Amino acid sequence: MYQVLIVDDEPIVKIALRSMLDWGELGFHICATASNGKEALEKAEQFHPDLIICDLKMPVLDGIGLIKTAKDMGMDWEFLVISNYEDFNSVRTALVLGAFDYILKVNISSEELTAQLKKIRLKLDQKSAKGLEAQASGSKALAQQIHAVWRDFFIHKTYPLTDLAEFTGICLEDIKLLSICQISFDWYVQNLDPLPSVALIRSTLKNALEQLSRHQIIFFGPSNILLIVPDSELSLHHNTIAGLSARISQLFQYYMSLTPDILYQSQIPDLEETRKVYSRFQELLELNFYGPLGTIDASAIPKNTPPGIPYKELSSTIQNYTGKDKASFALEKITEFLDDCRKDYIPPFQAIQYCIRFLDNLEYHLPGSTLPAHDQLSDLADAMRKAISLEELIRYITDALPIIFSPEAYRISQTGYSPEIAQALAYIQANYSRKISLTSVSEHVGLSSSYLCRIFKEETGLSMNAYITNLRMSKAGELLNDTNSYIKEVAISVGFEDQLYFSRLFKRYYGVTPSEYRKPGNSVSP
């Protein structure tokens, strides 16, 4: 029998809840009632409830304060919130803090309360069930070790499956037909400031997985999370990995205003195969170069890259164009080409190489090219190879086309930066190795974030996030060439706490991984 504490400053509400249904029949017992959060904490210490049903607006200590205090104390109580229409913001806060759900006072009924209690009963039952989660095994320290073993299993391709089974205590024969999904947040693309906390991410995931007792969550960093669920567990709750992935995306949008990229796949025969699928997920995540991926079934994406693009034919089409503005026509055609690359899931580095070949071929066949113009195009080609987003790539192409078609008329502006932007650039240069954000830079120069963002891009040609990322990547390349520091140390030195995310950005920028970049004889230049 699970113990229930009812907390509300209105006596009529407490009486109504007590008499509304047969609590014992549902597996619950009302152990006590309280009139405010402070009294509830005193009663909870005495009666040890499993579930607290509480109002949000109460004297002395309100419902939000009660939930926060319980979490700070490390109490694992479930909370069911009862509230009014005007308390919606408070309800949202309560859910983010980990409350199970809420019921509107004006609509409360025995049917709705019964339905909620059944779901809570299921969750309470599942708390004692043995699942795949590392937290189910012993102390916090041991749980962290087990989590590290799971992480190593996916990162290091040679990690033995038998060692994973031995250390985590799982039975490999029981782990058949799995579904996995990877949740990725690209802070660079979404331009987030400040970055959300890991605790808030964990809380949102917990809410999404509340009905599942058997699952494993692996954090590779705050921006990359892997979820493993047996297909049988999903079937038990009449769900699919597609439906679960959609719910996860929905909750992150609702609670945190984030839209994650989610890749998922089901019917994976065993854990060994999940490792291969995870490796493919990492390749597919590079596709967010073109923009947010959303929620995608990875098995529906073709594995074989389509044949090479006929860039010579494309350049001929532009050369034969008889209109006045060939640069605009060329930009239109190459933009269409890049859109086709996105639709065909062409790896970004290949799309970039196609664009560079296209521009080289175009320059070669057009008269009037000068050495300065050629040098400018070479610099732009180097910049294109390091482009981190489609927007950045198109900007470089837009800069290159006037040089190709009117090299003698093309001039790079020699005007300097405004004092505010010069100050911002100096601050970024001095602080790129630390946690730096749009807010901190704007406070330093004394401008609003929105205004600074606009004039920064107008004067530099890059968003501030793009500028900071490019600077950090350049410094990382120098450190890898000039020091023997571990890759994790390099990542931290240039302002990245998440090594996996750093490695993804580095590969997108240089075309190779950090370890490949520092190999002797590597010809890639920063």
Band the pLDDT of 414: cuts 50, 70, 90: very low
Q: Is the pLDDT of residue 187 over 60?
A: no
Which pLDDT score, from 0 to 100, does residue 180 have? Answer: 93
Q: What is the mean pLDDT of residues 261-277?
A: 91
Q: State yes or no: pLDDT of 489 exceeds 50.
A: yes
Same fold: 2-127 with 419-517: no
Q: Which two tokens stand for residue 116?
A: 């909620």
d(CA 223, CA 525) in angstroms, rounded, equals 28
Determine the average pLDDT of the residues in 275-290: 90
Selection from 439, 441, 501 nearest residue 194 by Cα:
439
pLDDT exceeds cutoff 70 at 308? no
User: Is the predicted pLDDT of residue 305 greater than 70, yes or no?
Assistant: no
Mean pLDDT across the chain: 81
pTM: 0.55
Kindly indicate the confidence band of residue 37, based on its pLDDT and cuts at 50, 70 and 90: very high
Please check whether residue 452 is in contact with residue 420, taking contact to mean a CB–CB distance below 8 angstroms.
Answer: yes
CATH code of 419-517, in short, is 1.10.10.60
Higher pLDDT, 394 or 306: 394
CATH 3.20.20.80, applies to 135-298: no
Which pLDDT value is given to residue 141? 65
Asked if the model's pLDDT at residue 174 lies above 70, the reply is no
Q: What is the CA radius of gyration of the chain?
A: 28
* Count of other CB atoms within 10 angstroms of residue 50: 19
Residue 136's pLDDT band, with cuts at 50, 70 and 90, is very low
User: Which has the minimum average pLDDT: 43-52, 73-82, 251-260, 290-299?
Assistant: 251-260
Beta pairing partners, 227 = 181, 217
Other beta carbons less than 10 A from residue 430's beta carbon = 11
Boundaries of every domain in the chain: 2-127, 135-298, 311-405, 419-517
Nearest Cα to Cα of residue 389 among 280, 309, 469, 450:
469
- Using the CB atoms, write b or e for 451-474: b if 16+ within 10 Å: ebbeebeebeebbbbbbbbbbbbb
pLDDT at 70 over 50: yes
| Contact present, 363 and 377 (Cβ < 8 Å) | yes
Helix (H, G, I), strand (E, B) or coil at 34: strand
Whether the predicted pLDDT of 277 surpasses 80: yes
Q: Is the pLDDT of residue 134 over 50?
A: no
Residue 130 confidence (pLDDT)? 41
Q: Is 56 exposed, middle or buried (0-12, 13-18, 19+ CB in 10 A)?
A: buried
DSSP secondary structure of 405-443: H-TTT---------HHHHHHHHHHHHHTTS---HHHHHH
Mean per-residue pLDDT for 314-318? Answer: 75
Residue corresponding to tokens 């029949």? 25
- pLDDT at residue 192 is higher than 70: no
CB of 161 closer than 8 Å to CB of 227: no
How would you write 50-62 as a 3-class SS string? CEEEEECCCCCCC
Q: Are 494 and 479 in contact (CB under 8 A)?
A: yes
Angle between helices 271-285 and 140-155 (to 10 degrees): 70
Q: Give the architecture (CATH level 2) of 2-127.
A: 3-Layer(aba) Sandwich (3.40)
What is the average per-residue pLDDT within 183-189?
69
DSSP annotation string for 170-192: --GGG--SEEEEEEE--HHHHT-
Per-residue pLDDT, 340 = 86
Mean pLDDT confidence for 64-69: 91
Residue 313 has pLDDT above 70, yes or no: yes
Q: In this structure, are residues 407 and 400 in contact, taking their beta carbons and an 8 Å threshold? A: no
Least confident of 68-77, 146-155, 367-376, 432-441: 367-376
DSSP symbols for 46-98: HH--SEEEEESS-SSS-HHHHHHHHHHTT---EEEEEE-GGGHHHHHHHHHTT
Percent of the chain beyond pLDDT 90? Answer: 14
Q: Rounded CA gap, 116 and 80, in Å?
A: 8
Residue 4 pLDDT grade (very low, low, confident, very high; cuts 50, 70, 90)? very high
Least confident of 26-30, 115-119, 199-203, 225-229: 199-203
